[in-house]
Chain A
């Protein structure tokens, strides 16, 4: 794998900044936001595999995330299982969902797939609200234990931040490797030209299911991390709005690029907080800003940095196609 020096430097600087920053922050709410950013980064990096690279519209993130959160928290609270094992169980749930949602994506695509995933997510939400015996219904699950290592419980926000930072860095690095591997190129090719992919001897079915599984596993892991961090979950928040938020992060940051995903997750989580001084109007202003971004900068923030290179390439490609 070729890593050029500047991007490696930027990555190291970003990690160092992320590690140092909490030392200067004593406000618990700000730390809470930073943990939320880490969790969102994990989800968006995962969503990038299926929606960003493979081009399959997934609007079911809320359903997948809450399945992860519920799997993990129910095992921990009802059966008293160690949170780490619950996390592994959440990964297993991610596999199952990925396979299950990947299968329809073989038959339907585009808008149909978006509707299928919305349907899945709504079914999950309705079941979680109404299967009161299993999930606690609208009141949710309370008293979810935090993670612990060798008897040390991660309870303060600062400790949790560092633990999740390590997990997030591993997952981001992993995603970066996958995006720049044979798999990543196959994902991109499925988006650009499925017929050519098939002619090239790559099995589209397995590639799509793989992308879905990766996305689902990342989302369920994030769900599990979230549940063990806040200690309380209920189903009411996980509606279509919630899923859409992650696609917005993906688009704002830059589709297909892992650094872009990270940037998008940070911006979309923090900018609304910066706009809070507008009180009642902050969400309206933020929505208008995002709309302008989508119309005028559809390739996201990263296209500002490497815009020229991309445009040149795209221009050549278009000429070669005779357009």
Chain B
């Protein structure tokens, strides 16, 4: 029983990570119609910015470092919106957009390698250790992931439902022409969305540091699985990304009890293909 609970918590924690990845690219997808194939590099960038520059480089306390990392990533998101995403979304087919974001990712990973070096490193005292609830042992990192991710998802829902900027962002994703007729500055709004997405990416990057260490390949698998979770839950629909992510995390952790754990990574792609063939709209995708 306690093994079951421990596995469940680990699964939910990973699921929340996938869910956040799903949210982060769904934001950009809804705002620009582009799939951000460089999103895993955004996550990587956030993690390196936090661990490499602000904590190890400048020696800031974690709270301040998180604040600065998130702020830097927000600015980076806005700049990349004007330099990359806006020109790309004007091109005729989405093929160019795919290539454009992919190459942006390449440029980012090369910059990371040049700035912070190719060797992996980690933060020793950051979210380490475990907490005991009776006989159940939960690692601190997983607990923090669950708490922070729930706060972010709830916060985003409130932001989209109640604030003026959030409503404008939903409007832009519904219909750009109508939005600009209603006096919404569409390019500015898109830039803000991408900045927001970059913030979520930075958060993911910081949260997974205790699990994966800081290295160049740390985010490529969660990036791909995030795509899978979005499709499973319902593509382009935020609650869908959350449901799909958590489902994927839990299925993965219990699946690895049934099949050899080296095939664990296969599971999410098999699920992805099954869903695409049988129910492309996903679990919650009955909106479309």
Contact = CB atoms under 8 A, between A and B. Distances in A.
Interface of A: 51, 55, 57, 59, 104, 107-108, 110-112, 114-116, 118-120, 122-123, 126-127, 129-130, 239-241, 244, 247-248, 251, 255, 280-281, 283-284, 287-288, 290-291, 294-295, 298
B280 A295 contact: no
A112 B107 CA distance: 25
A115 B231 contact: yes
Given A104-B277, A123-B270, A284-B110, A251 B224 contact: no
Give 10 nearest A-B pairs by CB, closest first.
A119-B269, A284-B110, A287-B106, A130-B262, A291-B103, A287-B107, A119-B272, A298-B96, A294-B100, A111-B35
B276 A112 contact: yes
B100 A291 contact: yes
B276 A107 contact: yes
A247 B94 contact: no
Contact of A291 (B104, B220, B260, B272): B104
Contact of B99 (A108, A115, A247): A247
B227 A115 contact: yes
A284 B107 contact: yes
B266 interface: yes
Contacts of B273: 104, 116, 119-120, 123
Interface string B257-284: 0001011011001101100110010000
B276 A104 contact: yes
Contacts of A295: 84, 87-88, 91, 100
A125 B17 CA distance: 24
A79 B260 CA distance: 28
Given A108-B276, A295-B87, A281 B98 contact: no
A126 B265 contact: yes
Contacts of A251: 95-96, 99
Interface string B18-50: 000000000000000001000000000000000
B94 A288 contact: no
Given A123-B269, A284-B110, A284-B114, A114 B98 contact: yes
Given A119-B276, A248-B99, 5 more contacts: A57-B95, A112-B280, A122-B266, A284-B114, A294-B103
Given A108-B276, A290-B103, A298 B263 contact: no
Question: Which of B84, B100, B114 counts the most A-chain CB atoms under 10 A from its CB?
Answer: B100
A281 B94 CA distance: 29
Contact of B95 (A108, A118, A122, A255): A255
B94 A57 contact: yes
B162 interface: no
Contacts of B103: 248, 287, 290-291, 294
B102 interface: yes
B263 A283 contact: no
Contacts of B227: 115, 118
B51 interface: no
B266 A107 contact: no
Interface string B78-101: 000000100110011111101110
Interface of B: 35, 84, 87-88, 91-96, 98-100, 102-104, 106-107, 110-111, 114, 220, 224, 227-228, 231, 235, 260, 262-263, 265-266, 269-270, 272-273, 276-277, 280
A239 B223 CA distance: 13
A57 B260 CA distance: 32
A112 B231 contact: yes
A120 B114 CA distance: 32
A247 B106 CA distance: 14
Nearest to A110: B94
Question: Which of B94, B104, B273 counts the most A-chain CB atoms under 10 A from its CB?
Answer: B273
A127 B266 contact: yes
Contacts of A248: 99, 102-103
A116 B95 contact: no
29 contacts: A57-B98, A59-B98, A104-B277, A107-B277, A108-B276, A111-B94, A112-B280, A114-B35, A114-B98, A115-B228, A115-B276, A118-B269, A119-B269, A120-B269, A123-B266, A123-B273, A244-B102, A247-B95, A281-B114, A284-B107, A287-B106, A291-B84, A291-B100, A294-B88, A294-B96, A295-B84, A295-B87, A295-B88, A295-B91
B208 to A, nearest CB: 19
Question: Which of A114, A126, A290, A291 counts the most B-chain CB atoms under 10 A from its CB?
Answer: A291
Contacts of B231: 112, 115
Nearest to B278: A107
Contacts of B265: 122, 126
Nearest to A115: B227
A119 B228 contact: yes
A114 B231 CA distance: 12
Given A112-B231, A114-B35, A284-B110, A294 B224 contact: no
A251 B220 CA distance: 24
A203 B282 CA distance: 28
A126 B263 contact: yes
B92 A298 contact: yes
Contacts of A118: 224, 227, 269
